[in-house]
Amino acid sequence: MKPAILVVDDDEVMRQTLSDVLKKRGYTVSTAETGGQTLSSVKEQLFDLILLDIRLPDMDGLDVLKRIKDIESDLMVIVMTAYSDVQTAVMAMKSGAYDYIDKPFELEELKILIQKALETQSLRNEIRRLRRQGGKKYQGTEIFGNSPLIKNVMELIEMISQTPRTSVLIQGESGTGKELAANAIHYRSKRANKPLMKINCGAIPENLLETEIFGYEKGAFTDAKGTKKGLFELANGGTVFLDEIAEMKSYLQTKLLRVLEIQNFMRVGGEREISVDVRIIASTNRDLSALVNAGQFRKDVYYRLKVMVIEMPPLRERREDIQLLANMFIEENNKELGKTVTVISEAAKEYLLNYCWPGNVRELKNIIERAMILSDDNEILPDHLPIELRKFQMDGTADLISDNADLTLDAAEKKHIKDVLMMMDGNKSRASRVLGISRSTLREKLKKYSISAA
Ligand SMILES: Nc1ncnc2c1ncn2[C@@H]1O[C@H](COP(=O)(O)OP(=O)(O)OP(=O)(O)O)[C@@H](O)[C@H]1O
Ligand SMILES: [Mg+2]
């Protein structure tokens, strides 16, 4: 999207000249003659930069500057001052101007200054993005597999990534690679060098979710001392991944619908229409159509998202991929763990191929890692695999009851919680969601059974 610049000057010739020059440079330019006009423009519209003449007919320019900063604390303002008015320039810088330029100036000088300001602005956004998405491990973008089911998915991803903005719904059980698919779409698309911003709608408290996604204006609530950009703004030009979309509350879905339909929204507590250019990818491990029927998810949002659906197939329906994925994870771990595992014994392979994989590829990945840590030569043996796999092999269920087993419900609950936790990489939020209990209930149970989440 073209950067938007507001040119403020009471001199018509100056306004016109600057406006023409900047338009030619590829910017979107608006103009204002007075301080009053400037402030109302800033309230209505989002600019990337303001070129502000400090001498205005109706208001003191410094005052206008302060009020602009009040509305949008990180807006870039370049102040145009009269030659030799050093005092004003200094005051302007103190009031938050990015820089100043003396009138009369060379157009070339101004162009460079503007370019620098916009670069600084995008660097700031970049830092903000990194901070917000910080701590997240880099995730791959390559989807492995030879089965027809996964090949279909790859083709679909290829096709979708070539569309400019089509929104996508990715459905599938836990651990099937939904996030991986989202990465793949983004990084294969023309948006690849723009940001991919992710948010898990189920992991963030409702009120925070709204401001994370849409941002807020100063004064939106008591703590809102400044303005905050939401994910949609930070992802501009790129992609937003809304993980666990089913957890999003209805009123937020309404706001989302507007973005899906006209790429437009307002920050919390704001009245400015903000336009963005983003592709929205949503994902869920729940049955959205059932939620729609039960009145728990908005039909209109569902239909908007449903235009492009990717169904991630469960691992048990594409067993032909197990071996390939296992080998791939072994290679990865050899590098990371400094191991030299080269083979999976025939018996161990049997177990892997016959298991039901409720945690899908993530579970396979975890099990391989664990086996490699346990193995002290070059081979993965049945002994290195978790007991569930071996039990499953014997009678086709993951829960074989043997003679000396502890048959109390408590024992079963403990085991189940441990299994699910392992499947979810020890992630308690995920585990509690899969178990259908709250985080605090899960915490109590972990304590009760003295399970330590890794
Ligand atoms: N086809 C695949 N090829 C390679 N790695 C895969 C594949 N599918 C999944 N993975 C890996 O499995 C792990 C789980 O994948 P991912 O996080 O994308 O699943 P998910 O469907 O988003 O799970 P959840 O519903 O729990 O959020 C990741 O480490 C991912 O890289
Ligand atoms: Mg996921």
Question: Are 286 and 292 in contact, with CB atoms under 8 Å apart?
Answer: no
The alpha carbon of 172 and the centre of ligand 2 are apart by a number of angstroms equal to 10
Pocket mutation for ligand 1, best pick of 320, 361, 432 (most atoms within 8 Å of C-beta): 361
Q: Which residues, given as ranges, of the chain have pLDDT below 70?
A: 83, 134-139, 393-405, 453-454
Q: Which amino acid is at 155?
A: E
User: What is the DSSP pairing of strand 196-200 with strand 239-243?
Assistant: parallel
**How far is the C-alpha of 140 from the C-alpha of 179, rounded, in Å?**
10
Beta-bridged to residue 168, according to DSSP, are: 281
> Could you list which residues have their CB under 5 Å from ion ligand 2?
178-179
Q: What is the pLDDT of residues 263-319, one digit of tens each?
A: 999 999 988 899 999 999 999 999 999 999 999 999 999 999 998 999 999 999 999
The alpha carbon of 150 and the centre of ligand 1 are apart by a number of angstroms equal to 13
Of the chain, the end-to-end C-alpha distance in Å amounts to 44
What is the model's pLDDT at position 401? Answer: 47
Which architecture characterizes domain 316-448 according to CATH? Answer: Orthogonal Bundle (1.10)
**How far is the C-alpha of 307 from the C-alpha of 114, rounded, in Å?**
41
Asked if the bond preceding 314 is cis, omega within 30° of 0, the reply is: no
| 137 CA to centre of own chain | 13
CA nearest to 310, candidates 433, 147, 161: 161
**How far is the C-alpha of 435 from the C-alpha of 430, rounded, in Å?**
9
Give the ligand with the smallest distance to the CA of 424. 1
What is the model's pLDDT at position 352? Answer: 95
Q: What is the pLDDT of residues 216-272, one digit of tens each?
A: 998 888 877 888 899 999 999 999 999 999 999 999 999 999 999 999 999 999 888
Which residue shows structure tokens 């008015």? 85
CA nearest to 313, candidates 325, 330, 329, 327: 325
Task: Domain 148-313: state its class.
Answer: alpha beta
What is the model's pLDDT at position 400? Answer: 44
Provide the residue count of the chain: 454
Please, where in the chain does CATH 3.40.50.300 lie?
148-313
Residue nearest to atom 24 of ligand 1 (CA): 174
**How far is the C-alpha of 86 from the C-alpha of 90, rounded, in Å?**
6
Please, where in the chain does CATH 1.10.8.60 lie?
316-448
What is the model's pLDDT at position 137? Answer: 47
Superfamily of domain 4-132: Response regulator (3.40.50.2300)
The alpha carbon of 360 and the centre of ligand 1 are apart by a number of angstroms equal to 8
Residue nearest to atom 15 of ligand 1 (CA): 177
Where helices occur in 298-438 by DSSP H, the ranges are 299-305, 322-337, 346-354, 360-374, 387-395, 409-423, 428-435
Q: Is ligand 1 within 6 A of the CB of residue 284?
A: no
- DSSP for 247-280 reads GS-HHHHHHHHHHHHHSEE--BT----EE---EE
Please, where in the chain does CATH 3.40.50.2300 lie?
4-132
Q: Is ligand 1 within 6 A of the CB of residue 143?
A: yes
What is the model's pLDDT at position 134? Answer: 59
